[in-house]
Amino acid sequence: MLVEKFTPDNLIADNAQPIHKGTVTVKSGEGELKRGSVLTKDSSGKYVITASTLRVGGYLPEVVLAADVNATDADAVGEVYTSGDLKEEALIVDEHHTLSDDDKADLKRNGIYVKAGL
């Protein structure tokens, strides 16, 4: 019996850091977010995809989606990585934002180590 088929997506860089998961509430209106999306908690306490405008408001990246989630029409519970080594090339942010050194430092403070060029 096949329970689940695994298709590698190159998000996990290695296992030097422990990989921990949790769940968060993704805010309604965020749409269909893919595994690897970098999320920031906004003023409502719900999570949205990381964007430049959030950093200006003092809201910093915290977690990375571990599985796709659809928050198009309603809030959705999303499984997230709260720690681990992740590949920079596989991380997703808002289309008008580029993952910055400050973003990577914020993720590192939360236990997520971003590794480039693997």
Fold of 14-115: Virus Head Decoration Protein; Chain: A, (2.40.300)
pTM of the model: 0.89
Q: If we measure between CA atoms, which residue out of 41, 88, 81, 34 comes closest to residue 60?
A: 41
Higher-scoring residue by pLDDT: 53, 111: 111
- The pLDDT value recorded for residue 53 is 78
Identify the band that residue 4 occupies on the pLDDT scale cut at 50, 70 and 90. low
What residues does each domain of the chain span? 14-115
Q: Closest Cα to residue 20, out of 92, 96, 83?
A: 83
What is the distance of C-alpha 110 from the center of its chain? 12
The CA radius of gyration of the chain, in Å to the nearest whole number, is 14
| 86-to-49, 102, 107, 109 alpha-carbon distances in Å | 17, 16, 10, 14
- pLDDT value of residue 54: 77
Q: What is the chain's mean pLDDT, rounded?
A: 90
Average pLDDT over residues 25-38: 97
